[in-house]
Amino acid sequence: MKSISLDITKAAQFLKPGAIQEYEPKVKAAQEALENGTCPGNDFLGWLHLPSSIKPEFLDEVQTVAHSLREMCDVIVVAGIGGSYLGARAVIEALQNSFAWLVRQKGTPAVVFAGNNIGEDYLSELEDCLKDRNFGVINISKSGTTTETALTFRLLKKLCEEQRGKETAKDVIVTITDAKKGAARICADKEGYKTFVIPDNVGGRFSVFTPVGLLPIACAGFDIKALINGAADMERATGKHIPFDQNIAAQYAAVRNALYNEAGKKIEIMVNYQPKLHFISEWWKQLFGESEGKEHKGIFPASCDFTTDLHSMGQWIQEGERSIFETVISIEQPNRNLLFPSDEENLDGLNFLAGKRIDEVNKMAELGTCLAHVDGGVPNMRISVPTLNEYYIGQLLYFFEIACGISGNVLGVNPFNQPGVEAYKKNMFALLNKPGYEAESKAIQARLK
The nearest distance, CB 46 to ligand PA5, in angstroms, is 13
HEC profile of 63-126: HHHHHHHHHHCCEEEEECCHHHCHHHHHHHHHHCCCCHHHHCCCCCCEEEEECCCCCHHHHHHH
Q: Report the residue number, 28 or 181, with the smaller CB distance to ligand PA5.
A: 181
Q: Phi, psi (5° rounding) for residue 333?
A: -120, 115
CA 242, 247, 253, 256 torsion-angle sign: positive
The nearest distance, CB 94 to ligand PA5, in angstroms, is 20
Q: Which amino acid makes up residue 405?
A: G
Question: Active site residue: 425, 426, 438, 442, which one?
Answer: 425
Q: Report the residue number, 31 or 84, with the smaller CB distance to ligand PA5.
A: 84
The nearest distance, CB 51 to ligand PA5, in angstroms, is 18
Active site residue 290: yes
Binding site for ligand PA5 (CB under 6 A): 81-84, 141-143, 146, 149, 203-205, 290, 418
Neighbours of 323 (CB within 10 A): 13
The nearest distance, CB 439 to ligand PA5, in angstroms, is 25
Active site residue 10: no
Q: Report the residue number, 149 or 407, with the smaller CB distance to ligand PA5.
A: 149
Residue 362 burial (C-beta neighbours within 10 Å; 0-12, 13-18, 19+):
middle
Q: Report the residue number, 183 or 226, with the smaller CB distance to ligand PA5.
A: 183
The nearest distance, CB 174 to ligand PA5, in angstroms, is 15
Question: Active site residue: 93, 268, 282, 290, which one?
Answer: 290
Q: Report the residue number, 209 or 325, with the smaller CB distance to ligand PA5.
A: 209
Residues 6+ apart with CB under 8 A from 212: 80, 83, 84, 87, 88, 140, 176, 198, 204
The residue among 52, 53, 23 whose CA lies nearest residue 406 is: 23
Contact indicator for 371, 365 with CB cutoff of 8 Å:
no
Closest-by-Cβ residue to ligand PA5 is 204
CA dihedral 113, 117, 121, 123 (to 10 degrees): 50
The nearest distance, CB 109 to ligand PA5, in angstroms, is 23
Q: Report the residue number, 143 or 362, with the smaller CB distance to ligand PA5.
A: 143
H helix and E strand count, the chain: 19, 10
Residues 6+ apart with CB under 8 A from 333: 359, 386, 387
Adjacent-strand bridge partners of 331 = 385
Q: Which residues participate in catalysis according to the annotation?
A: 290, 425
